[in-house]
Structure 1
Amino acid sequence: MIITLLSLIIIVLFVLFLRFYWKYKSQTSQLIKLKTSLSDIMEYKSNNKILLYTEEKAVRQLLVEINHLQEQKTAAEVKLNEQEESSKKMLANISHDLKTPLTVILGYSELLRNTQDIRGEAREKILKIEKNAKDVLEVIDIFFDLMKLESGDFPLKNEIVDLSELCREEIINYYDVLQAEGFQVIPDIPERQVLVLADISALKRILANLIQNVIRYGAEGKYLKLSVYEESNECFIEVMDKGKGIIEDKQDKIFERLFTLEDSRNKKYQGSGLGLTITKRLIESMNGTIKLRSKPYEETVFTVGLKKLN
């Protein structure tokens, strides 16, 4: 009798254990599925609702709240996309509205400039109008390029680029201007190829911005050195001058939008204040880096780093 009772108790306990085990296993499996679904939502891999059958009331309530949040998130994303599209159209319209009258001004000024009867002071004024209109057009282009970069709407096409060849070409492009300004030009560029995967147009713009920066702000030193070298898994371009430089407390601001040095108040040195900002954004878009070190009248060096192509 006692043995039978003990056997019955053991069987009941075993059944209870199995029930508890399968319930625990089912809950664990459900929690794993819930965790996976939440991870997908957080990583923007899924916008689907979480569908999970469970007898647990607390878990069901949690799922209702999560799915409600997911609906709100999806609605917010749709609204954000609509706002982004609206902003792009607005920027395109503003760009067109600003450029159209300037293009007309340039057209008429060119016609007047080529008129035989216009000479002397009148011709000089026409040339000033033409130059100022071109400067404004350039600033507009720079501004809208920056807007595109910051919104992720500036397509870059990566290809194999030889930094050595590219830097030689840019030095040649600016050589006459640098010589006319009295610069000593030192190219420190290896004969061998230094290859990276990058957008060649973006790299040309980066180099142009850095060289123009030397001409604009480093003119007192009359010195420009352009170097290309490799270290470990990276390739580097360095643009160095020996001009007035950038004092230490302003070095961390140099890449900020619309930041200009005191010299920019002089018309000779005026810039948009966006060149270095665009330079930094372009480099970051290619997963590169840019650093600055400066000791006034000794060296001011911008170093661009890009991953070496193996």
Structure 2
Amino acid sequence: MDIKLKNISKPIKLNIIAILVLVLTSFGIISSYPLIKNIGKDNSSSPYENNDILKIINQTSYILYKDSLEKQNGADLTYDEVYVKSSKYKESGKYNDYLKYNDFKKNFNNKLEEWDEYFGRSLKNLNYFAYGNDIEKGKTNTENKLSELVNTIDNKELNNIYDFYMVVHYDENGGVEVTNVHGADEYTVRNRFSEFNFKRSFDNNLVEENEVKFNSIKNATFVYAIPKELKFEDNISVLVNSPGDMIDYPIVAEFILIIGCSIGILSLLMPYKVGKEILGIKNLLKIPFEINFSILIGGIFVLGELSIQVVKNTLNNKLIYYFLGNTNNNQFDKFIVIILNLILWIVFTSFIFENVMFLKHIFKPNIITYIKENLLTIKFFKLLKKLNDTLITYIKRVTHELSNIDLTDKSNKFIIKIVVIDAAVILVFFILWVLGILITWSFIFSAFWGLILAFTYCTVMFNLLKKYLIKIKNNYAMLLDATNKIAEGNLDVKINEDLGLFNPFKEQVVKIQNGFKKAVNEEVKSQSMKTELISNVSHDLKTPLTSIITYVDLLKNENITEDERKSYIETLDKKSQRLKFLIEDLFEVSRATSGNINLNLVKVDIGELMKQTEIELEDKIKNTNLKIRNNFPGNKIILTLDSQKTFRIFENLLNNVVKYAMEGSRVYVDIIDHEDKVEINIKNMSAEEITFDAFDIVERFERGDKSRNTEGSGLGLAIAKSFVEVQGGNFNIEVDGDLFKVIIIFKK
């Protein structure tokens, strides 16, 4: 059991506890009903001070007064003829107002007839005496001389007969005066009875304010009395025989107010974070403020009035009759009463608690933030602003599109022509239709000819558009056929026809066609270079290897001399070193081009490094009688480079010069210091005619002599280019006749 309880989530636990608290609270409120009854007894010493009895007596006066006027006039009168003085509906003269007044008059008469019926059926124990100007002509329903109470303050004979009586006098202006009250507090009865007027005597909204003005009862006196011995069972006997249960409206209203305030104060003690998780309140808080506020205000009035009626009728033993009618089952009645009251207080307590949490929710961050985020009015205006912005954006976009229509575009020209023609035709049709009506004065005749013209126009436009669409379809077919041929590998397809709307697509197809041709040529060239690369590598590796094998075979001959043996060994050493050099260069360029190389970056003086390289190769340079002409800046040029890799770059380039430069010619080495870069130029005249491409010469195993008779691996320029680029520089070769120029650029 404990494990099951632990597995229940916190919100569920809170709601279970909340429901238990609601039920216990509701039972606690119900258990306090006897206290209200005791307070009611203290404040209501006589049942005849009860509002219900006084209201019934007040309504009876209107019935008796109408009977009195009928007797005086000798004719039957309707209640509206007696009491309705004026009505804005009656006097307006409008037919709709006349109907409204008739409805009111019908409902008014029906209502007072209900009073008359109720008086005869439910007030059998009420004795009365009523008269106008002449007391001798008064009307009564008893043999007892109630007329004596008009002028006598205390009548002992009548006091012994009646438990309660009162005299009600209306003066010539309709003012009411209550006197000679017996069996109840005269001050209380007078005040409560005086509060009733014609409008308050109605139990519904039959009479709206300022719509109808009523005649008052004038120059009339009524004596009402209730005997001590009640002979009939009616509403008076129910009220009199259960005086302790008769609780007035104000007492119950005060009780409801105290309960509501107490629940509200206790709800304030509940932390907001906990309270919002109970009874689904967090979902209710998402409802916009206006709706929640309307529910709050409306709920206070509706639930408050309902609570007063339920409690009042419960204490007066009338709840079952009020809701279900008389069931005549005492045990069942008590159970139903408890259930109805329990439901009432659970709903009432929940409503107060939810509204307290709602108020806390409003003020939790701050009221300004809440209003901005939850006020439906603000959201509505934001939506209007958004719609307005969207509309403005749409108008701007349409305006922009209209202002940027390309009138040179054939499709746009065609659409504009169609729109202009349609507008012109519609205008012509309208003019002809108007003229037709003016001339023939016949709408049907003009409409007939208008339909014929419209049908003719639609037929012509259909044929024209059909031809245009067929042309578009043919142009599309030609474009599709050309693209299919290109897809099949035919890159020499030409589209000479004017394709109209598809001309932009034709231009794109031509570009794609040229791109394919270029890609094919590049691929062919790449394959050719790969073949040549394999051939060159094979040749350069095979030559020293063949020599090594040959001289090894010669050394195997035992008849050779010692001098020949030394010569063979020397040749083997040279060829093996040559093979080693080729293999090392091959690995070096492979690592460089793949990026798998580590750089040891340091500060390098470019000018000094170039001079050092020239000194290292001084012997080779002198053997070819080359003259080096250096053109360096006066200041030092310091760059962050790998000194060994940079030295190898310069070494390979100068070795290339020594191998291929014209003997005895001048070699120019320029170092130019720019603002953001350093440019290194090495220029020399080639000994052989330059017939190769500048791009091809930097490829691996390419040489300046196609016969491949010179020493070298053919990797010198490729290694130099790779080392330059891996250090973030640019390596370019330019050829002008027999002038060979290497350009290296390093960024500062």
Q: Same fold (TM over 0.5)?
A: yes
Match of 2:745 in 1: 305
Give the Cα separation in 2 of the matches to 1:156 and 1:272.
24
Deviation by residue 1:2-52 (Cα, 9 ceiling, x = unmatched): xxxxx87x959959x99xx9xxxxxxxxxxxxxxxxxxxxxxxxxxxxxxx
Aligned-partner Cα distance in 1 for 2:702–2:568? 30
- CA drift of 1:148 comes to 1.5
Provide the residue aligned with 2:707 in structure 1: 265
- Deviation per CA, 1:114-172: give whole Å up to 9, x if none: xxxx8533322222111111111111111112222233211011111001111111111
State whether structure 2 residue 586 is matched by structure 1 residue 146. Answer: no
Which of 171, 189, 199 is residue 614 of structure 2 equivalent to?
171
User: How far, CA to CA, are the matches of 2:618 and 2:626 in structure 1?
Assistant: 9
Shift in Å at residue 278 of structure 1? 1.4
Look up the match of 1:251. Answer: 694
Q: Distance in 1 between matches of 2:719 and 2:654?
A: 14
CA contact (8 A) 2:662 2:686 kept: yes
In structure 1, C-alpha distance between the alignment counterparts of 2:695 and 2:744, rounded to whole Å: 16
RMSD of Structure 2 on Structure 1 (CA): 3.3
- How far residue 230 of structure 1 moved from its aligned partner, in angstroms, is 0.9
Answer yes or no: is the 8 Å Cα contact 2:604–2:639 preserved in 1. yes
The aligned residue for residue 237 of structure 1 is 680
**Does residue 181 of the first structure (1) align with residue 624 of the second (2)?**
yes
- Partner SS state of residue 305, structure 1: strand
Q: Distance in 2 between matches of 1:188 and 1:12?
A: 82
Q: What is the aligned counterpart of 2:580 among 137, 151, 163?
A: 137
* Letter aligned with residue 629 of structure 2: I
Letter of the 2:674 counterpart: E
Tell me, yes or no, if the aligned pair for 1:244 and 1:296 is still in contact at 8 Å. no
Q: Which has the higher contact order (CA 8 A, sep 6+)?
A: 1
What is the 5 A alignment of 1:88-237? 120-220=563-663, 222-237=665-680
For residue 697 of structure 2, give the secondary structure of its aligned residue in structure 1: coil
Percent identity between matched residues is: 24
1:174 positional shift? 1.1
Name the counterpart of 2:722.
Answer: 281
TM-score, structure 2 as length reference: 0.25
CA distance 1:266–1:141, shift in 2 (3 Å): closer
Whether the 8 Å contact between 2:724 and 2:730 is mirrored in structure 1 is yes
Does the aligned pair in 2 maintain the 1:161–1:197 contact within 8 Å? yes
Query: Is 1:142–1:274's contact at 8 Å kept on the other side of the alignment?
Result: yes
Residues 245, 294 of structure 1: 8 Å contact kept: no
> How far, CA to CA, are the matches of 2:601 and 2:746 in structure 1?
12
Q: Which amino acid is 1:194 matched to?
A: I
Distance in 1, Cα, partners of 2:651 & 2:700: 18
Counterpart residue type for residue 301 of structure 1: K
**What TM-score do the two structures reach when normalised by structure 1?**
0.58
Query: Aligned with 2:596: secondary structure?
Result: coil
Q: Which letter does structure 2 place at the counterpart of 1:305? A: I
Distance 2:607 2:587 in 1: 30
2:641·2:727 contact (CA, 8 Å) conserved in 1?
Answer: yes
One-letter amino acid matched to 1:303: I
Query: Contact 1:237/1:304 (CA < 8 Å) preserved in 2?
Result: yes
What CA distance in whole angstroms lies between the structure 1 residues aligned with 2:714 and 2:633? 33
Task: Give, in whole Å, the separation in 2 of the partners of 1:273 and 1:241.
Answer: 18
Q: Residues of 2 paired with 1:133 and 1:219: CA distance?
A: 29
Deviations 1:228-248, CA, capped at 9 Å, x for gaps: 221221112221111247747
Matched, 1:291 2:732: yes
> For 2:598 and 2:712, how far apart are their aligned partners in 1?
25
Taking a change above 3 Å as real, the CA distance of residues 156 and 233 of structure 1, as seen in their structure-2 partners, is same
Q: Report the 3-state secondary structure (helix = DSSP H, G, I; strand = E; otherwise coil) of the residue aligned with 1:265.
A: coil
Q: What SS does the corresponding residue of 1:148 show, helix, strand or coil? A: helix
What is the letter of the counterpart of residue 631 of structure 2?
A: D
Q: Distance in 2 between matches of 1:172 and 1:224?
A: 15
3-state SS in 2 of match to 1:254:
helix
| Separation (CA, whole Å) in 2 of partners of 1:272 and 1:236 | 27
Tell me the amino acid that sits aligned with residue 295 of structure 1: D
* TM-aligned CA distance change 1:274 to 1:246, over 3 Å: farther
Name the SS of the counterpart of 2:617 in structure 1.
helix
Listed as ranges, the gaps of 5+ residues in structure 1 are 1-6, 22-97, 113-117
Change (3 A) 1:14 1:255: same
Residues of 2 paired with 1:260 and 1:286: CA distance?
Answer: 25
Q: What's 1:74 paired with?
A: none
* Residues 190 and 11 (structure 1), Cα distance of their counterparts in 2 relative to 1, 3 Å cut: closer
Give the superposition deviation at 1:176.
1.8
Partners of 1:236 and 1:306 within 8 A in 2: yes
Structure number, greater radius of gyration: 2
CA–CA distance in 2 between the matches of 1:221 and 1:133? Answer: 32
Is the contact made by 2:690 and 2:737 (CA closer than 8 Å) also made in structure 1? yes
1:164–1:14 CA distance, 2 compared to 1 (3 A): closer
Quick check: 1:221–1:242 contact (8 Å CA) kept in 2? no
Q: Distance in 2 between matches of 1:134 and 1:232?
A: 44
- How far has the Cα of 1:260 moved from its partner? 2.4
Report if aligned partners of 2:625, 2:664 keep a CA contact under 8 Å in 1.
Answer: no
Letter in 1 for 2:740: T
- Partners of 1:184 and 1:223 within 8 A in 2: yes
Counterpart of 1:42 in structure 2 is: none
Q: Match of 1:135, SS? A: helix
Aligned-pair distance for 1:205? 0.4
Q: Is the 8 A contact 2:627 2:664 kept in 1?
A: no
Secondary structure class of the residue paired with 1:203: helix
Instruction: Render the CA deviation track for 1:269-296: whole Å, top value 9, x for unaligned.
Output: 2422222111111101111011212223
Q: Aligned partners of 1:228 and 1:12: how far apart in 2?
A: 76
Identify if the C-alpha distance between structure 1 residues 215 and 144 changes in structure 2 by more than 3 Å, giving closer, same or farther. same
Q: Structure 2 CA distance, aligned partners of 1:191 and 1:275? A: 30
